Amino acid sequence: MNRFWLAASLAFILINVNIAAAQSDSIGKQIDSLIQTYHQDNGPGIAVSVVSNGKIIYQRQEGLANLEYGTPISDSTVFHIASVSKQFTAFLALLLEEEGKLSLDDDISRYLPELKDLPYKVSIRQLANHTHGFANTYELGQLIGISSGDVMSQQQMIKILLRQKQLNFKPGAQYEYNNSGFALLAEIIQRVSGKPFGEFARERIFKPLGMNHSLFLDDNATVVKNKAYSYKKVKNSYNKVPFNYTVIGASGLNTTPSDLCLWAMNFDNPRVGDQKIFDKMTSPSRLNNGQQIPYGLGQETKRYKGLDVVFHGGGDAGYRAYLLRVPALHFSIIVMGNLESFNPLTLSYGVLDLYLKEFESLPDARQQPRYTTGDLKQWEGNYEIFPGRFFTLVAKNDTLFYQPFGSNDAYPLPVAGDSTFAFPFAPHSKLVFGADGLRWYFSDFAYRCEKISYRLPYKPTFKLDQMKGVYWNDALKTSYKLNISDGKLVATHALNNDIILQPLARDEFYSDKSFFGRIKFIRDKQQRVTGFKLSGQNLKAISFIKIE
C-alpha cells in the first residue's frame, strides 16, 4: 500500500465518519425545521433529498403535488426539473464523443446542414456551454405568439431554430445562458444516435441506473403518473400555472426525488459514463479571448465557503429544482418544488451548511467599506440590463439609490462589499461594479448592465406615420403591423396583445415586453423606413423587413 493511497483512504474514512456524525437527531431536526419554513397550508410544496457516499441519508417532502385531489408530495412524485435537464443532454453528447461518433469541436452544420448559411461556425461545444449566439427558445416563441402555457413541441421549435440566419453575437465571444443551444444539441444527438432523444436517454441513462420513473416529455398529451402540478400563489389561494412546452434537451426531464438521487450517486460510483466525462462536464469553459467562465457542459462550478461545488438549477412555470454536489466529499443535495415563488438556492445551501459546517471555511471578516456621496457619484447614471429594460442609480446622503427608470421613487442599496451593493428586491441578488462595468447577480446568473446616455422624455422630430406598415421576419414566419393609436406607435400581432412603443432616441423605441424590448428602424438612402431590428432579453438585432 503506497503512502498516497493510504492518505487518500484515511481522508475518505474521516469524511465518512464526519458526515455520518452530522446526521444526528439534532441536525435532522434543524433540517426539518428549515424545511418547515416552506410549509403552505393545503398548498404546493417541496421535496429534499441528501446523498452521501452512495446512500440517501435524508429525505423529506412537504406539501401537495396536486391541490385538486389533495395528493401529498412523496419520494415518488414526478417533477418537471427544467434546466437541471441540461446536464443529461451534455452527458449523452459526451457518450457519443467517447464512442467516436462526434466531436464536441465539430461544426454543427455537419449534423444540421440546414444551418450552413449561418455567418459563423458554431461548434457542438458552444451549444453546450452557452457561447453559441442563438436567440433563446422562449423569446422566439413569444415573438410568434407562443407563451409557456401554450403548446410548443420540440419539432416546432427545431424548425424555427434551423431557419435562423443570424446570431446574437460571434460564437465564443461571450457567454449568454439560454435554451436554444441544448435544444439543437438534442437534435444532433437524435440524428447521430438514430433514435428519438427520449428513447436514447432511457437506453443509455435511465435504464442502467434504475431511474424507472424518469422520462423526457416530448408530447404534452403523455400521461405521467404521480406528476406534481405547477402552481403560483394569488392572494390567499393558488392558481395552476400550465406548462405545455415540450422542447427537450434544455428542459423537459420529468423525474422523481429518488431517481435524481441515483443520478447524483453515479458521479461518485459510475455505472454509466466515467470520470473523464464527468471532468469534461465540470471543467470551466473559455471564450475566444481566453477568459474563463464557470459554466462547463451542462453544469457549473464555484467556490462556496471553501468548498468546490458543482450545481445547476431549473425553473419553468411553477416548477423549481436544484442539484448541488460537493464531489470531494461525495455529497449531493436534491431539491424540487412546485410553487412559482419558491427559490431553491436558500434551502439547498442552508442544508449544505448544516451538514458540512466543519468542512467549510470563511474568509476573514472585513469591515464593510464606507462611501461618501462623492465616492458614489462614479456609479450614477442610467443602465440597461436587457434591451428595453432600464434603471437609474442616484447617489445622495452617502447612499446609492435604485430608481425604476423614469420614476422619482428611490430605494437605498445596502453596501455588501467593495464596489458591491445588495439588491434587496430579489433573493440572492446584488450589483457589483468591476473593470468591465456593472454586473447584476441574480441567483446563479450574472448579467452585464450597460451604462447608457438616453434621456427621457424624448420627443421625435419625425412623423410617426413614417413607421406605419407591416414588417416580416422570414425565419420566424411572423409579422407585426405598426399603427398609430392615441398618438402612440403600436405593434399589433395575430396572437400577441398590442405592444405600445415609447420613443427612446432617433428612430429607436422601447416597450415593457421583454421579448420586444427595443427596436431601431432602418432607412434607405432616401430616408424611407425599410425595416427594423428588434432586440430583447436573449434577442439581438433580429431583422424585420417592411413589406407593406
**If pLDDT is split at 50, 70 and 90, which confidence band does 94 have?**
very high
Regarding whether 321 and 440 lie in a shared domain, the answer is no
**Same-domain check for residues 298 and 445:** no
444 occurs within a structural domain? yes
Identify the pLDDT of residue 430: 96
| Phi, then psi, of 419 in degrees rounded to 5 | 55, 25
Confidence grade of residue 461 (pLDDT, cut at 50, 70, 90) = confident
The identity of residue 49, as a single letter, is: S
Average pLDDT on 470-491 reads 96
Q: Does residue 227 lie within any of the structural domains?
A: yes
Q: What is the DSSP string of 158-218?
A: HHHHHT----SS-TTS-----SHHHHHHHHHHHHHHTS-HHHHHIIIIIHHHT-TT-EE--
What integer pLDDT is reported at residue 174 of this predicted model? 95
How many CB atoms neighbour CB 16 within 10 A? 14
pTM of the model: 0.92
The three three-digit cell numbers of residue 64, written as one number: 401537495
- Counting residues of the chain whose pLDDT is more than 70, the rounded percentage is 95
Looking at the chain, the number of H-run helices and the number of E-run strands are 13, 34
**Tell me, what amino acid is at 51?**
V
The grid cell for 168 is 446574437
Query: Looking at 135-149, 274-288, 465-479, which range is the least confident one?
Result: 135-149
* Grid coordinates belonging to 282: 465540470
Q: How high is the pLDDT of residue 368? A: 86
CATH number of the domain that 176 lies in? 3.40.710.10
**Does the pLDDT value for residue 7 go beyond 90?**
no
Predicted pLDDT of residue 19:
52
Cα–Cα distance for residue pair 348/345, rounded to 1 Å = 5
Residues 6+ apart with CB under 8 A from 206: 212, 214, 215, 259
CATH for 515: 2.40.128.50
CATH number reported for the structural domain that contains residue 397 in this entry: 2.40.128
Domain boundary residue, one of 387, 417, 452: 452
Distance CA 178, CA 134 (A): 8
- Residue 311: which H helix or E strand, with range? strand 307-316
Tell me, what's the pLDDT at 459?
83
Same domain, 322 and 196: yes
Same domain assignment for residues 206 and 332:
yes
With respect to residue 42, please indicate whether it lies within any of the assigned structural domains.
no
Query: Locate cell 421579448: which residue?
Result: 515
Same domain assignment for residues 190 and 294: yes
> 75-97 as b/e, with b when 16 or more CB fall inside 10 Å?
eebbbbbbbbbbbbbbbbbbbbb
pLDDT of 12 strictly over 60: no
pLDDT of residue 14: 36
Same domain? 344 vs 394? no
pLDDT of residue 24: 53
Domain membership flag for residue 163: yes
Range of the domain at 304: 79-359
Q: Tell me how far the alpha carbon of residue 33 is from its chain's centroid.
A: 29
- pLDDT of the residue at 6: 34
Identify whether residues 398 and 507 lie together within a single domain. no
CB 501 within 8 A of CB 150: no
Say if 296 falls within a structural domain.
yes
pLDDT band at 458 (very low <50, low <70, confident <90, very high): confident
**Is 381 among the domain residues?**
yes
Tell me the three cell numbers of residue 148. 409557456
- Note whether 427 and 482 are same-domain residues: no
Lowest mean pLDDT among 94-98, 287-291, 443-447: 443-447
Cβ–Cβ < 8 Å for 196, 33:
no
Are residues 283 and 342 both part of a single domain?
yes
Residue with C-alpha cell 473523464? 276
pLDDT tens digits for 25-48? 677 789 889 999 888 889 999 999
Residue 491 domain flag = yes
pLDDT band with cut points at 50, 70 and 90 for residue 454: confident
Asked if residue 67 belongs to a domain, the reply is no
Q: Residue 13: pLDDT above 80?
A: no
122 near 129, Cβ under 8 Å?
A: no
Q: Name the grid cell of 358.
A: 466543519
Q: What is the pLDDT of residues 292-337, one digit of tens each?
A: 999 999 999 999 999 999 999 999 999 999 999 999 999 999 999 9
Write the pLDDT tens digit of every residue in 355-406.
999 999 987 767 889 999 999 999 999 999 999 999 999 999 999 999 988 7
- Is residue 151 very low, low, confident or very high in pLDDT (cuts 50, 70, 90)? confident
271 and 310: one domain? yes
Three-state secondary structure along 316-332?
Answer: ECCEEEEEEEEHHHCEE
Question: DSSP code of 107?
Answer: B
Q: Are residues 439 and 472 in the same domain?
A: no
Domain end, chosen from 390, 419, 452, is at: 452
Residues 480 and 429 in one domain: no
Domain boundary among 359, 385, 413: 359
Confidence of residue 149 (pLDDT cuts 50, 70, 90): confident
The number of domains in the chain is 3
Question: How deeply is 232 buried, as exposed, middle or buried, from its count of CB atoms within 10 A (0-12, 13-18, 19+)?
Answer: middle
How far is 509 from 316, CA to CA, in rounded Å?
A: 30
Task: For residues 155 and 522, give the distance between their C-alpha atoms in angstroms, rounded to a whole number.
Answer: 33
Please give the grid coordinates belonging to residue 496. 400577441
Q: Provide the angle, in degrees to the nearest 10, between the axes of the packed helices 86-98 and 275-282.
A: 130
Q: What is the mean pLDDT of residues 140-153?
A: 89
Instruction: Tell me what the pLDDT averaged over the chain comes to.
Output: 92
Cell of 469: 406598415
pLDDT at 3 over 90: no
